[in-house]
Structure 1
Amino acid sequence: MKHDLKRGALLLASATLFTAMLNALQKLTGSQLPALEIIFFRNLFSLPFVMMIAARTKMTLKTNHFGGHLTRSVVGLVSMIMVVVTVTRLPLAEQQVLSYTQPLFLVLLSIPLLHEKPSLHRWVAVSIGFSGVIVVALGKGLLHSGPASIPSWAYFVALAQGAVGALTTMQIRQLSATESSTTIALWQAILMTVATALPLPFLWTTPHMTDALCLVAVGAFAGIAQVLQTEAFASAQVSAIGPFAYSGLLWASIIGWFGFGEIPGIAMLTGGLLIIGSGVWMLRHDQPAKRPLAASGMMAPTNVKGL
């Protein structure tokens, strides 16, 4: 693989920008439309982009592990619902920061599920990362009385989404032992679209023209983000460009500030630095065989598992 750091970094930063924009659109529509309706259109309109990626390699739906794809899609769908719920209620930057706990949960889940023994530096990184979560929580007064306008449970759902996202990464790792990445992506897109289409007649809310355009853009942005990320990791080594995935916090802060009047506080910024720092530390110290997993773990809304 030709290593082009500049191209890979630019593509990955662009992917996080499109993810931040789709989260902003989900925030706009989330107060008007059911989460499952938003996710249906997200998957439906991102499907052509998944097909575009799959067409570049051997495209096949043949599998001997349909149950694994089904389980992975169900868990991924739960993660998407949690994202819509949290971006609707939390400032974009705070939701983004809490989603970066995914690599931390990945370390914890690797013990019972993969029977791994995390190294000392990973345990230190996990401790630093979760101390960042505590800083964010203290800044919002969640340990005593939180802001009346933001329910405390929304922060816990955002944190839990990091754990669910880590679980989907585990499932992808297990499936990838026998399945190609395109097969995994295709089955996910198809199963999630079908799963969210089934309940639509019972919860359908007709969107206004503006919301309808937002739904189309949500799917398009999700698909574009996935294409950009795929190209990014095909352009450069994961260990080199992985930290640029955290540029999503910058985009989320800018969009939240100018689009929704959400000004990041000192506690959020400090906690965010601790969480991001722990993730970068793990990425830099991981052995080469484990670097792809670390990279996928920090990209919750942008990579295959989140689209």
Structure 2
Amino acid sequence: MPLRHDIRRGVLLMLGACALFTLMSALIKALGDRIPVAEIMFFRSALAVPVVLLVVARARPGRPVWQALRTSRFPAHLVRAGTGTSAQACSFYALALLPLAEHTALTNTTPIFITLLSIPFLGEKVGIHRAGAVLLGFLGIVVIALGQGAFGGGLQGVAQIGVAAAVAQGVFSACTTLLVRNLSATEASTTITLWQSLLMTAFAGVVLPFVWVTPAWWELGVLILVGLLGGAAQVMLTEAWASAEVSALAPYSYSSLLWAILFGWIAFGDVPGFATIAGALLIVIASLYILHRELMRRRRGQ
């Protein structure tokens, strides 16, 4: 998809995508722990497939959609979908255990883990600036964890598991991003997106018969809405990245924190404490500084 260089359009789409993704998370949290994570994941992925098919058809006018599935790297797509499924499972599990704002802050740690994992996986050299940003990001995680009492005992064990799951989501998302970078060298973005959507639906579908809980009518409505919101948000995010440079849009992606605070307060009566706000700021600053250093490194390499 060619870059349109329309920053205003990109910003509006990014803000909209963040709002829809956060609303989706709030709905998942509202389901509580009665509906299994795998069941939520199935609805989220399956109902997004038609949306993905429309995007692929639009990107490949005049060509059958199924041709986008042609690939010589199916094992790599399988691994990429596996890490994506793991990230989604950790995220949805953490939603049941943490307030929405804390969950959103901790799942925004992906850029920090990308920097860390690029050392063994890509052989990149991380200088003192990016290394310092990684440490700052980890400090933000610790501050939020301390605010949740995650290092205590007793009832705080729930927060401990929730923090661990949210951070694991960041790790799996980082692995997914690095795998997409590798796949992008030989595969079209439509091929990567379509295989991701189909395989993640299949993974959740395999587990579904073993964990299925028949939802009440209102729960079924929420599950359907989760899938539709997720699909719509994904399209908006794709369109946003196609409208402007990453450096122009990345800061607006952290608007999800503001939406999380708003939805958390309205729906669950949660008001983030000082530790959550301070930790989130550290994570955002670290992530944006990593982006800044990455852009500087690319310019020097040109």
Q: TM-score, normalised by structure 2?
A: 0.92
2:14 equivalent in structure 1: 12
The alpha carbon displacement at 1:148 in A equals 4.3
Matched residue, 1:37: 39
User: Residue 24 of structure 1 aligns with which residue?
Assistant: 26
Q: State the Cα distance separating 1:53 from its structure 2 match.
A: 1.4
Q: Which amino acid in the other structure matches residue 246 of structure 1? A: Y
Contact in 2 for aligned 1:7/1:235 (Cα 8 Å)? yes
CA contact (8 A) 2:148 2:156 kept: no
Mapped partners of 2:251, 2:123: distance in 1:
27
Residue pairs, 1:110-149, within 5 angstroms: 110-145=118-153, 148=156
Identity %, equivalent residues: 42
Amino acid at match of 2:195: W
TM-superposed CA distance for 1:149, in Å, is 8.2
CA contact (8 A) 1:30 1:84 kept: no
Shift of 1:140: 2.2
Kept in 1: contact 2:44–2:227 (CA 8 A):
yes
- Out of 57, 69, 73, the position equivalent to 1:55 is 57
Q: What does 1:96-175 align with in structure 2 at a 5 Å threshold?
A: 96-145=104-153, 148=156, 150-175=158-183
Residue 221 of structure 1 deviates from its aligned partner by 0.7
Amino acid at match of 1:200: L
Contact 2:150/2:156 (8 A) holds in 1: no
> Aligned in 2, Cα 1:211/1:46: closer, same or farther, shift over 3 Å?
same
Alignment of 1:76-91 (within 5 A): 76-91=84-99
Find the residue that maps to 1:235 and give its secondary structure: coil
Deviations 1:198-226 (A, max 9, x none): 23222211111111011111111111111
Please give the alpha-carbon distance, in whole angstroms, between the structure 2 residues aligned to 1:54 and 1:84: 27
Instruction: Give the Cα–Cα distance (whole angstroms) in 2 for the partners of residues 259 and 158 of structure 1.
Output: 21
2: distance between equivalents of 1:107 and 1:46?
Answer: 30
What is the deviation of 1:147? 5.2
Q: Deviations over 1:37-73 (max 9, x none)?
A: 1101111111111112111223410000010111111
Residues 2/148 of structure 1: CA separation in 2 closer, same or farther (3 Å cut): closer
Work out whether 1:259 is the aligned partner of 2:261.
no
What SS does structure 1 have at the residue aligned with 2:114? helix
1:141 shift after superposition: 2.6
C-alpha distance after superposition, 1:4-61 (max 9, x if no partner) = 2221111101101110011111112241211111101111111111112111223410
* Pairing partner for 1:201 from 202, 206, 209: 209
Is the 8 Å Cα contact of residues 140 and 147 (structure 1) preserved in structure 2? no
| Deviation of 1:145 (Å) | 4.0
Q: Distance in 2 between matches of 1:243 and 1:146?
A: 38
Residue 73 in 1 paired to residue 75 in 2? no
Query: Do the aligned partners of residues 275 and 190 (structure 1) sit closer, same or farther apart at CA in structure 2, a change above 3 Å counting?
Result: same
Q: Deviations over 1:78-117 (max 9, x none)?
A: 1111111000111011011011111111111000111111
Match for residue 219 of structure 1?
227
Q: Retained in 2: the 8 A contact 1:8–1:236?
A: yes
Contact 2:148–2:159 under 8 Å retained in 1: no
Q: Secondary structure at the match of 2:48?
A: helix
* CA contact 1:16–1:247 (8 Å) conserved in 2: yes
- Inter-CA distance 179–265: structure 2 relative to 1 (3 Å threshold): same
SS at match of 1:236: coil
